[in-house]
A and B are shown apart, each in its own frame.
Chain A
Amino acid sequence: MEKRMVFGSTALPYLLVVPQLAITVVFFIWPASQALYQSVLIQDPFGLSTEFVWFENFAHLFTDPLYIAAFWTTAVFSALVTVLSLGLALLFAVMADRVIKGATAYKTLLIWPYAVAPAIAGVLWLFMFNPAIGLVSFYLKVLGYNWNHVLEGGQAMFLVVIAASWKQISYNFLFFLAGLQAIPRSLIEAAAIDGARPLRRFWTIVFPLLSPTTFFLIVVNVVYAFFDTFGIIHAVTKGGPGKATEILVYKVYADGFVGLDLGSSAAQSVVLMTIVVALTVVQFRYIERRVHY
């Protein structure tokens, strides 16, 4: 799509473009190239000695069981978050689509968690599950189950998954609702007249028509779980216990900022960049083929 009518100035467009270009170059392109450069070096933190090492940092990464574990942790974490938040969001959307009375009220009450920062979501759930004073952990103890996510890796993962999903439900809910409301009533009614029960109708008509939305949301949720959840991990578990919740993004921060291993952190950044590129390509390529109605 292009405009037929354009303005003829020569200098003006460049001027208009300069602010964004300048910021993009200084704060995006340049650091990204620095990351690429640093990933092939081994440097001391003060920058006093530098050694060029080709792809050794990458080799070191991929033979490091901790890094492979971080990959696995991230995969598990994103899968759980995606499934949980999508599933619940779909349920709520289907329900919300049905009601007439109080529809706006329900909608308002279901979407506001989007406004809560991931880190704060983490703090809220951390408070409820705090081993010493949390309400939930107290009742679990009463039931005989000793909750201590500071020591148990599985419990820590459970906690961060819940906090991360809790936040995302609203976002998914909105899109599912929009998707549901875009399905023509006539299709549903026709099926009902043919004698199909609600559940059947859902699986044979509604769900397939929702699939572009679903697919889109899967990609968005995976990106969210990969990157935007840094705040949750940092606030709740700091990657622990014993790296049980150390997702890739957190590891870049921990190794670079806390461990001062610049080469490794840069190499990890490059790997993450590749993943983002792949996900973005998927998002644009396949979602462009969405059914438009």
Chain B
Amino acid sequence: MVERRGWLTAVTHLVLIAGIAVLALPIYFAFVASTVGLRDIVEPPLPLVPGPFLFDNYGEALLRGVTQAAATPVALMMFNSLVMALVIAFGKIAISLLSAFAIVYFRFPLRMFFFWTIFVTLMLPVEVRILPTYEVVAGLGLLNTYAGLTIPLIASATATFLFRQFFLTVPDELAEAARVDGAGPLRFFADILLPLSRTNIAALFVILFIYGWNQYLWPLLVTTEASMTTIVIGINQMIAPGEDQTNWPVVMATTMLAMLPPVLVVVFMQRLFVKGLVETEK
């Protein structure tokens, strides 16, 4: 603001620090829980400082998993999540680039029809077509496969629109120059358009990676085999419904591991992340 009043600035910092604390508190407790033994957790209150079992708990989680959840090692679950996130991110970007390119740089019958078809998908999140999509995937034999986990989520309107917006801002002169040089459309796409789109692609990658990693409903429906569980689903399964004792330290270790990749991506690619968020909402 305009004034430089000392106490106001102090208050500002205080509020911000309080905000950060509120946001970070659950994570901190989870971290503490992941480093202590089960006894410490089952007899509240939880100690407020981390304990000594960090390597034990994380090691057990990664290598052995939790016995209730059919013993899927967390390392395997993280691999599944990684595959899902990467395939979805790359897949969405690739397909949307192609479609946006076609819509912007060509005139063909059904062009607008196609555009609106893509638009319609904005209004059909998986939650409104749960059972029928499941049936289609089951019918195609894609349950419990990486294909079934990823392909149905790859068609994306937001990415297509983003690229469309961007391509519309690319000067026509570049395309004309390419044509004059005798380069075909694909050449133009690969040599000129793609490099120009680099920052958009990177920004989108961040958003889509997080989107793919954090998927919940879809993997819940499509995978029932222990070896195909993603880590976000796996954590839910590990929390036993009262029959056996939940192995909380290992569960919390798994939770920390599950949060790590997306958070790292956000923190280290912050600028791209922010750009991606803001661009996709325009």
Binding site for B on A (CB under 8 A): 1, 3-7, 9-10, 12-14, 16-17, 19-21, 23-32, 34-35, 38, 88, 91-92, 95-99, 102, 106-121, 123-128, 132-135, 137-139, 166, 169-171, 174-175, 178, 188-189, 192, 198, 201, 216, 220, 227, 230-231, 234-235, 249, 252-253, 256-257, 262, 265-266, 269, 272-273, 276-277, 280
Give the shortest distance, in Å, between A238 (CB) and chain B (any CB).
Answer: 9
Per-position binary interface string of chain B over residues 120-138, scored 1 when its CB falls under 8 Å from any chain A CB and 0 otherwise: 1111110111111101110
- CB-CB under 8 A from A23, the residues of chain B are 95, 151-152, 154-155
Closest residue of B by beta carbon distance from A230: B217
Within 8 A of A (CB), among B1-57: 1-3, 8-9, 12-13, 15-16, 19-20, 22-24, 26-27, 29-30, 33, 41-46
Per-position binary interface string of chain B over residues 86-116, scored 1 when its CB falls under 8 Å from any chain A CB and 0 otherwise: 0000000001101101111111100100100
The secondary structure that dominates the B interface is helix
Which one of B23, B41, B135, B175 lies within 8 Å of A169 (CB-CB)?
B23
Does B255 contact A123, Cβ atoms closer than 8 Å? Answer: yes
- CB-CB under 8 A from A132, the residues of chain B are 42, 44
Known: A3-B168, A13-B108, A174-B274. A120 touches B130 (CB 8 A): no
Interface size class of B (residues with CB under 8 A): 35 or more
Does A99 contact B121, Cβ atoms closer than 8 Å? Answer: no
Does A135 contact B29, Cβ atoms closer than 8 Å? Answer: yes
Within 8 A of A (CB), among B177-233: 179, 184-186, 188, 210, 213-217, 220-221, 232-233
How far, in whole Å, are A220 and B281 apart by their CA atoms in the complex? 9
Which one of B1, B136, B154, B213 lies within 8 Å of A31 (CB-CB)?
B136
Known: A1-B168, A35-B131, A133-B41. A234 touches B236 (CB 8 A): yes
Does B216 contact A21, Cβ atoms closer than 8 Å? Answer: no
Give the shortest distance, in Å, between A283 (CB) and chain B (any CB).
Answer: 9
Closest residue of A by beta carbon distance from B47: A135
Closest residue of B by beta carbon distance from A275: B128
Q: Is the C-beta of B58 less than 8 angstroms from some C-beta in chain A? A: no
Which one of B16, B117, B131, B251 lies within 8 Å of A265 (CB-CB)?
B131
